Structure 1
């Protein structure tokens, strides 16, 4: 069984000196994931090129960094994010093309450096994804994306998330501890620890264990989604204000949660069963994200990598006054 969880590190890009800081930060994160000198150098080069592309094309933006899991060890996810006018992807994929009038290597060269590459661009801005894994050994990229941020980059985050994978079974969790800061984080981590101990048991029993673990903390909102790709079914149980949607094509249906606070009190915990969900997107988000988004407002976005979808939603709908988590899972068989 594999359990995934990691925080998004956001590096601002407003002037050229910040490119070097981003490169060093990405290199250090790669070393922490066990990358050798050559592979860590590839991560640093990608960070440099992505950051330079943002500054040339959009003048300002961000680089999002996160550790991601792989079959033979951890990988690195880099996301270049901007709010400029967008660009013609076909033209920019050509080596030597530069929007800034300088000698550019082109997104095509960036794509060749990365093992996983994807782009979404429109009039609202652009998100460019690159994931790299260690070249020694095989890796399987999981179609899971998350944008997970603490308010004002606080070291403590009251949101947390986990995804557990066992064959073609997946169990996803999002917790929003009440408020933010260390006490909210303690509540969320208590619940996550209980979830991680047995993520595939009956969700009502799992929620009760989390409720007991979070007793004595501030408590929080909890959502659990368990997907079995073989039976094409999803079971969902939510308490509190974690938003959850199943997206089929671009049509989204909200999944119902019950009122209450896990760790404090809730009157009812009923799981709902959804059939024929393979091929859907599962999108779970804390209330740090506005709920008024619609994927149909972003032509083509539903077909992009879940990491790109999560980042676009965070970029455009983050409230900016609370911790925020956006988890996107492509509900397809995992082990092939």
Structure 2
């Protein structure tokens, strides 16, 4: 499987009133149809969107439905709220309800979606569903990204890109200086250069991105390349893109070099990390606070990376800049 998944904003649908359920359903169905889902499969997406939005109102009174394409033919929906959580095992049993309803919603989601996962605690709930066309042979890629612009500006100064080949992947996150259209131009220039040859030597790749971003505001950039056969992660960063490896009961930050790609920086030295299989890589722009700790969320590190990205955004977004959170499991990815 060779894939290039380009940067894209997360579509956020507010769910605060029953009237907004219909809009969420139509938005999800339209995305599915745009991705080539037939009428029946698009109907499955619409059903799940309806149930996810309804569950937000039942359990938390208000929240958000996050909608995006997975990049490998799928539709991803994440219901995010700040309610008091619930007993997941009980709620998956048809007939159980905490809201006085028939209690069929969550069980229906878990049966219809090819990928279903939930994390709930006293801070709130995030519920993930990914759906693929029935005729598709696509396998779920255990990655997730939550990308949002400041004040819902159509221009986002962050960019990310994920390239996948058999047994390896390469990912970048860029944060153009400031926010708005000029920051977006800088970040997108870096992404464009990265996408041309994402598996080349990372120091060379950063230099090419530096050239491509010349004449823009420039920005912070991080590149991570994982080789499953060698069981090695190579990380190269310039500026303040945060990066962490999470696994085996510990967390370690990955060091970046000072500078601004596209403006001025010294040659960036790559750092290699061995025996990382089974760990999580988390990359994030400075729109996210750095004081988060997954150990404060028991069990979250074992949930789907898309849930982790959504929850970190929910709880640690600064609210004064664009924000990107990218999470991926370090494991072999095949077709």
TM-score tier, shorter chain, comes to over 0.9
* Aligned-residue offset at 1:96: 2.3
Q: Take 1:41 and 1:297, find their aligned partners in 2: how far apart are those partners?
A: 38
Q: TM-score, normalised by structure 1?
A: 0.97
2:41 equivalent to 1:39: yes
Which runs of structure 1 show a deviation greater than 4 angstroms over 4 or more consecutive aligned residues? none
Structure 1, unaligned runs of 5 or more:
none
Q: Matches of 1:167 and 1:67 in 2, distance apart?
A: 21
Report if aligned partners of 2:91, 2:103 keep a CA contact under 8 Å in 1: no
Whether 1:23 aligns to 2:25 is yes
| In 1: Cα distance, 2:265 partner to 2:136 partner | 47
In the alignment, does 2:307 pair up with 1:308? yes
> In 2, distance between residues paired with 1:250 and 1:283?
15
Shift of 1:67: 0.4
Deviations 1:38-76 (A, max 9, x none): 111111110001000100110000000000122xxx110
Matched with 1:274 is 273
Q: Cα deviations across residues 3-43 of structure 1 (Å, max 9, x unaligned)?
A: 11332100011111011111111111111111111111111
Deviates more, 1:98-107 or 1:169-178: 98-107
Shift of 1:290: 0.3
How many angstroms does 1:105 deviate by?
Answer: 1.0
The secondary structure found in structure 2 opposite 1:252 is strand
Change (3 A) 1:155 1:250: farther
| Number of corresponding residues | 333
Aligned to 2:245: 246
Q: Cα distance, 1:267 vs. partner? A: 2.3
3-state SS, counterpart of residue 26 of structure 1: helix
RMSD over aligned CA atoms reads 0.9
Pairing 1:1-336 to 2, within 5 Å after superposition = 1-5=2-6, 6-70=8-72, 74-335=73-334
In structure 2, distance between residues paired with 1:267 and 1:196: 23
Does the 8 Å CA contact 1:96/1:106 hold for their aligned counterparts?
A: no
Larger mean Cα displacement after TM superposition, 280-289 or 88-97? 88-97
Residues 98-132 of structure 1: CA distance to partner in whole angstroms, max 9, x if unpaired?
22112231412210010000000000000000000
Which secondary structure state, in structure 2, belongs to the residue aligned with residue 107 of structure 1? helix
